[in-house]
Amino acid sequence: EDKVVQSPLSLVVHEGDTVTLNCSYEVTNFRSLLWYKQEKKAPTFLFMLTSSGIEKKSGRLSSILDKKELFSILNITATQTGDSAVYLCAVEDAGGTSYGKLTFGQGTILTVHP
């Protein structure tokens, strides 16, 4: 059974701090790892990672995947109060007929204080 574990479960920082969110996974047939940001409603897509060692960046956010160690990190630099959200990590299993089926971790609750 596919499994995703995120840490820490919650994190409180001040504006301007840099944070690192962790995601470890077990999946039978790995296709991709995805990061989502969830505020009070729908998760919104941040990154999709398929290859080890290639950093993806979007503004102050970046992410990298280590397929050997089954691990990914999400970095947020110069945090702002608008970054406060739940950050979800998910893996996609390539096996079976359900392409795109995602297994999510529990999420990391990030709170950024002014």
Partner 1 sequence: GAGVSQSPRYKVAKRGQDVALRCDPISGHVSLFWYQQALGQGPEFLTYFQNEAQLDKSGLPSDRFFAERPEGSVSTLKIQRTQQEDSAVYLCASSYGLAASYEQYFGPGTRLTVT
CA atoms of 113 and 56, how far apart (whole Å): 26
Q: Please, what is the minimum distance in Å from the beta carbon of residue 47 to partner 1?
A: 11
Which residues lie across from 73 on neighbouring strands? 22, 64
CA atoms of 16 and 82, how far apart (whole Å): 12
Nearer to partner 1, 17 or 109 (CB): 109
Q: Please, what is the minimum distance in Å from the beta carbon of residue 70 to partner 1?
A: 17
Instruction: Copy the structure tokens of residue 36.
Output: 């989502």
- In the complex, the residues that contact partner 1 under the rule CB under 8 A are 4, 31-32, 34, 41-45, 48, 50, 88, 90, 92, 96-107
Q: Please, what is the minimum distance in Å from the beta carbon of residue 36 to partner 1?
A: 8
